[in-house]
Structure 1
Amino acid sequence: MKNWKTTLAVGAVALAAAGQALAQAAPQPVTVYSSRIEQLLKPTLDRYTQETGVRINLLTDRGGSLTERLAAEGASSPADVLITVDMGNLWNAAERGLLRKLQSPTLDANVPASFRDPGSRWWGLSQRERTIFYAAGKVQPAQLSTYEDLALPKWKGKLCLRTGKQTYTQSLVAMMIAKHGEARAEEIARGWVANLATDVFTNDNSLLKAIEAGQCEVGIANTYYYGRILAREPEFNAKVKLFWANQGAGEGGAHVNLSGGGVTTHARNPEGGRKLLEWLSSQGVQRDYTHGTFESPINPKAEADPIVQAWGTFKASPLNAADIGSRQAAAIRLLDRVGYR
């Protein structure tokens, strides 16, 4: 009887030790809060799990809602990583103390300085260019130049714009404030409103279709919406064309917004979060992250989707994304003052 009990005890100890060893061998999961569309992000995260064995717990919602959720959860939050869109959302999350400072030579090497937080709390993961589109046959490229030019009377009744309630519009105006100061930016925004051909649009897809339909001749939109239409309707390129804004000497360059991410302040697995962000910014993975979304890779060594490549190279605004994000609130107030709804 004694031998039986001894054997059972030894077996239990061995089983417990084996279970402990197995638990230690299994990598700790990473929990991601993301405002990126789930079907665009999840396949890439699944690839990470396949390559590393690290399970990813993914929760998706709107950018502002996720920021508020992180703030409300505080130290009890399960989130290790926040991935969101728009530089204003990234800046806001960092300024509210929701993202931690990280030292990552890998991220700094993969992400250009203008597309990451100077305080090392967040990094861009893809570029979202916002530029000028025009109706082929009605407008010639030689007539176009800058965002500022679209505020001149020559475009009266010809301009289509997206609502000022949308973060992409707000970030463009925030860029104007950073570039020109608030008074000049307000003058430009007033000119845009005066030149509207129709009511503002809730999304860029509708705006681009309005140019095609002849409701307006020029507009400002994110390039990835254009890419989505071209993927379905290649002939759309003959009707509506892209023009890279502000490419001349002294004009600053085209406005670039971001999707990006950082490790949360109360992350339970900050090391795992850092490794995931480094992997997402790597040259090989950037293909998965941006191909089919029609964004541009943040890593300059990565190859863009063929549809994006066809638009050619351009000069981006050199303004730091954090500098633009910090002016988002001022941009919202400015848009309200000029009646840009």
Structure 2
Amino acid sequence: MIRSIPLAAAAVLALSACSPSNTEKAGAPAGSGELNLYTARHYDADLALYELFTKETGIKVNRIEGNPDQLIARMTSEGASSPADVFLAADAGALWRAQNANLLQPTSSPALEAAIPANLREPEGRWFGFSRRARIVAYDPAKVRPEEIDTYEEIASPRFRKKLCVRSADSVYNLSLVGALIEAWGPQKAGDWVKGVVANMARPPEGGDRDQIRAVGAGVCEIALTNSYYYIRMAGGGDVKDKAVTDKVKLAFPSLDGQGAHVNISGGGVAANAPNRENAVRFLEFLASPEAQKIVAEKNSEFTANPAVPAPAPVDAYAGFTANPMSVSAYGPRQSEAQSLMSAAGWR
């Protein structure tokens, strides 16, 4: 899970987490044919993307990794001399935090605007979504009928008292979901929903999304909130036990106000003081390309953001759902309010 940490401490942690070679590489001068990437994504699929980008462009990718708060703190402490060219994160709320700290600059690119729908990017081009994941429900079909969980309201209904598994309130995925509910319903109804979720918890929140899915399979709960790509990766991965869980547990895509399932994104933007700005824009355009979109979907089980790119296996089996059209840029500004509602309800 991602936890906020004090700014100074975050900067120290981020600096100490990087090897000397990476730290040196992150200072590559402008026009050097390099790209300095600050990324909060930690997937093998991304390494394949960076290698392909370098192969196609000759631009070397220097990678600094950390959680979003560490990277935001580092970029803030570096100020105008920051070598960061691109910031990547696995949630719209994290991208908003970087935007709110004035760490991202507007980017105008016809290629990006054509490839990435308006609701999956920041209106002024400070960041763009490059992959999607739905926050939905894993359920035991032996105990739950699909029509009992076809809306988000039903997750918090008395039908599921003590039968829901969910991760902690400080999960950015849960914060973004509740932020979306506030945007759609207002704080009163969203607060009632949060209270219903707390009343429905089969156990105190613990673990990540995979743990919630496994708990459904073990009979600890009947339903669980999860991101789609965790389930899809378990279903198609090499772990025999996890595959057995997904043979037993199914996915449901509840609808928000009859408009489809809540969708979050992974994405990125050009850093405010990017020394290699042209390379940064070129990298973002690459991430929106059909070739890169297909790699992310195939290797990390995320849904494509570019609607012109058909979903490849293994995500094609799950890609027929209706996605809610709400702008993902609405989630971040609502996260503080979401955290307050969740804390007040006892969602720990």
Normalised TM-score (structure 1): 0.89
Shift of 1:87: 0.6
Q: Within 2, Cα distance between the matches of 1:261 and 1:116? A: 9
Q: What is the CA RMSD across the aligned residues, in angstroms?
A: 1.4
Shift of 1:235: 4.2
Task: Summarize deviations over 1:58-113 as a string: whole Å, max 9, x none.
Answer: 11111111111111111111110001111111111112110001111111111111
Task: Summarize deviations over 1:125-174 as a string: whole Å, max 9, x none.
Answer: 10011101110211121222211111111111111111111100110100
Is 1:283–1:302's contact at 8 Å kept on the other side of the alignment? yes
Matching of residues 1-341 of structure 1 within 5 Å:
28-37=33-42, 39-232=44-237, 233=240, 234-246=243-255, 250-341=257-348
Alpha carbons of 1:327 and 1:298: their partners in 2 closer, same or farther (altered >3 Å)?
same
Is 1:27–1:53's contact at 8 Å kept on the other side of the alignment? no
Task: Summarize deviations over 1:245-284 as a string: whole Å, max 9, x none.
Answer: 117xx42321111110000010001111001000111112
Shift of 1:198: 1.2
Shift of 1:39: 2.8
Is 1:38–1:60's contact at 8 Å kept on the other side of the alignment? no
- Listed as ranges, the gaps of 5+ residues in structure 2 are 1-30
Is 1:292–1:305's contact at 8 Å kept on the other side of the alignment? no
**Higher-Rg member (1/2):** 1
Where 2:63 maps in the other structure, the secondary structure is strand
Deviates further, 31-40 or 226-235? 226-235
Q: Within 1, Cα distance between the matches of 2:102 and 2:154? A: 39
Aligned partner of 1:254: which letter?
A
**Identical-residue share of aligned pairs (%):** 36
Is 2:298–2:314's contact at 8 Å kept on the other side of the alignment? no
Deviates further, 284-293 or 168-177? 284-293
Is 1:207–1:221's contact at 8 Å kept on the other side of the alignment? yes
Aligned partner of 1:334: which letter?
L
Normalised TM-score (structure 2): 0.87
Where 1:56 maps in the other structure, the secondary structure is strand
Q: Within 1, Cα distance between the matches of 2:90 and 2:304? A: 14
Where 2:88 maps in the other structure, the secondary structure is strand
Q: Within 1, Cα distance between the matches of 2:59 and 2:233? A: 32
Shift of 1:312: 4.2
User: How many aligned positions are there?
Assistant: 314
Q: Within 1, Cα distance between the matches of 2:63 and 2:311? A: 26
Aligned partner of 1:209: which letter?
R
Q: Within 1, Cα distance between the matches of 2:66 and 2:150? A: 37
Q: Within 1, Cα distance between the matches of 2:124 and 2:207? A: 34
Q: Within 2, Cα distance between the matches of 1:310 and 1:328? A: 32
Q: Within 1, Cα distance between the matches of 2:105 and 2:41? A: 21
- Listed as ranges, the gaps of 5+ residues in structure 1 are 1-25
Q: Within 2, Cα distance between the matches of 1:66 and 1:156? A: 39
Moved over 4 A (4+): none
